Amino acid sequence: MPSETRPTLVVVGPPGAGKTTVGRVLARRLGVGFADADALIEERTGKSIPDLFVEDGEEGFRRIEREVVAEALRTHDGVLALGGGAVLSEQTRAQLREHRVVYLSVGLADGLRRTGMSTARPLLSGVNPRATFKALLDARAPLYKEVATVQVATDRCSPNQVARAVLEALGEAPASAPDDPVDPDDPLDRPTPHGGAPLPDPTVRA
């Protein structure tokens, strides 16, 4: 059994908030490892998240998610990004109270641009994805706030900007680097464009 430890940070938020992308940036800046709960679920089950929703239903998926998240909260010692719906579990919310949790928020417009309403996100692939996404944001926002240590908005921000804001909110931004240089060739320095491209590597699905 893996030894008991604690994540440096846990990142939560709705689909399209950039949890995986920003989580990786945070892990790199903090010099720790990164783990994504959805990727851990796929590794354990050998199935994609959409396939799990189809074959086991949302209830079956959430059961597996609770187990994987609980284990990761005990054993991962870096930055851990949770799936958008992980906070629906009262058990998970109780466990998160023992950790530093970053809530990445996103508005309806940016969230829709970033997710693209792809079939890789099972809960957003219905007939009216805009209404579905708004209902999801409205329902989950209080739960994200309940578990959050800090909240950072991601609208019109690049992943590097969001990571910097997170570290500042936590009091961990290095004093020696008050401003991050912007590299126009670095996709992590590009804010969400008006045209609708997602953040780099948007892998969180549910």
Comparing CA positions, the residue from 40, 65, 73 lying closest to residue 203 is 40
Tell me if 28 is assigned to some domain: yes
- Residue 36's DSSP bridge partners are 81
Structural domain includes residue 203: no
Determine, yes or no, domain membership for 197. Answer: no
**In-domain check, residue 154:** yes
Predicted confidence pLDDT, tens digits, the chain (206 residues): 455 677 899 999 998 899 999 999 999 999 999 999 999 999 999 999 989 988 999 899 999 999 999 999 999 999 999 999 999 999 999 999 999 999 999 988 888 787 765 445 555 555 577 888 888 899 999 999 999 999 999 998 999 999 999 999 999 875 444 445 555 555 665 555 444 344 443 333 33
The verdict on residue 1 lying in a domain is: no
Q: How many domains does the chain have?
A: 1
Q: What is the pTM of this model?
A: 0.81
- pLDDT score of 176: 44
Q: In this structure, is residue 139 part of a structural domain?
A: yes
The domain that contains 126 carries what CATH number? 3.40.50.300
Containing structural domain, residue 175:
9-189
CB atoms within 10 A of CB 3: 7
Residue listed under structure tokens 């680097």: 177
Kindly state whether residue 24 falls inside one of the protein's structural domains: yes
Does residue 199 sit within a domain? no
DSSP-based three-state secondary structure for 90: helix
CA distances from 10 to 68, 83, 105, 107, 139 (A): 14, 11, 14, 21, 20
CB atoms within 10 A of CB 79: 27
pLDDT at 5 (0 to 100): 74
- Adjacent-strand bridge partners of 103: 12, 151
